[in-house]
Amino acid sequence: MSQISPVITIDGPTASGKGTVAHRVAKHLGYHYLDSGALYRLTALMAHKQEIALDDEPALAALARELPCRFNHGHVLLDEIDVTEEVRAEAIGVGASKIAVLPEVRKALIDLQVSFRNTPGLVADGRDMGTVIFPDAQLKVFLTASAEARASRRYKQLIEKGISANMENLVKDLMERDARDSARTAAPLKPSPDAIILDTSEITAEQAVQNVLEWFAKTQKSA
Ligand code: DC
């Protein structure tokens, strides 16, 4: 049954707006939502807590295979502890990007990601949703935005949370993370050949949501 549920994949680089757009599209359609980056972040957070080195592939894969996590109304729980804020920390994002280069870690997370595909449907965001995890998705979208636009969004988010931030460092971090995510051999960040590319540098999240909903409605009509 789960195999026939429709999937919309929204991939793209860090801070391209994919989390916001995917979440709103899922809400609008009443679909499930998968934030696949959270799984890499949770693995990095657990590694940090257990003092496991970020290049210890077998130990990290073992952690990823048995991740004691749960998602509940926008909250991320690890071992039943709310780590929603903790997993979003920049240092954990950098750790996630480092462990995401390891093929055994990626393999260990496949079944968990696929298990989110349930009726009535799923919106999945990440880097390889359209290329690797859900290659048969009904609609694949790849969001892009300039490094400056993405850094300024991240800057606003951090300042709103009362966390001090520096634009120059944010642009540098984003570019380093993009380079690592794109250059890795295991499931690199790249659009699926059948993905629609949407540049969000000059549009609002709501406009991006409307685009995705229109494209999806078209796929439903032609199905
Ligand atoms: O989307 P995010 O920033 O929360 O993701 C954190 C890191 O996890 C990102 O730098 C790369 C990795 N990631 C991945 O390799 N594949 C995914 N599908 C999602 C995230």
The pLDDT tens digits of the residues spanning 3-25 come to: 589 999 999 998 899 999 999 99
- Tell me how far the alpha carbon of residue 128 lies from the centroid of ligand 1, in angstroms: 9
Average pLDDT over every residue of 102-120:
96
For position 3, what pLDDT does the model report?
Answer: 54
CB contact at 8 A, 11 and 140: yes
pLDDT tens per residue across span 55-99: 999 999 999 999 999 998 889 999 999 999 999 888 898 899 999
pLDDT tens per residue across span 127-155: 999 999 999 999 999 999 998 999 998 89
For position 1, what pLDDT does the model report?
Answer: 43
CB contact at 8 A, 128 and 103: no
For position 149, what pLDDT does the model report?
Answer: 92
Pocket test for ligand 1, best of 21, 23, 34, 36 (most atoms within 8 A of CB): 36
Residue 43, ligand 1, Cβ within 6 A:
no
For position 2, what pLDDT does the model report?
Answer: 43
Mean pLDDT score across all residues of the chain: 92
Domain 7-217, CATH: 3.40.50.300
Instruction: Give me the residue spans of the domains in the chain.
Output: 7-217
> Residue 142: beta bridge partners?
11, 197
- Tell me how far the alpha carbon of residue 98 lies from the centroid of ligand 1, in angstroms: 10
Pocket test for ligand 1, best of 14, 40, 112, 114 (most atoms within 8 A of CB): 40
CA distance linking residue 69 with residue 71, whole number of Å = 7
- Tell me how far the alpha carbon of residue 37 lies from the centroid of ligand 1, in angstroms: 4
Alpha helices by DSSP H, the chain: 18-29, 36-49, 57-65, 84-87, 90-99, 103-108, 110-114, 147-160, 167-183, 205-222
Residue 36, ligand 1, Cβ within 6 A:
yes
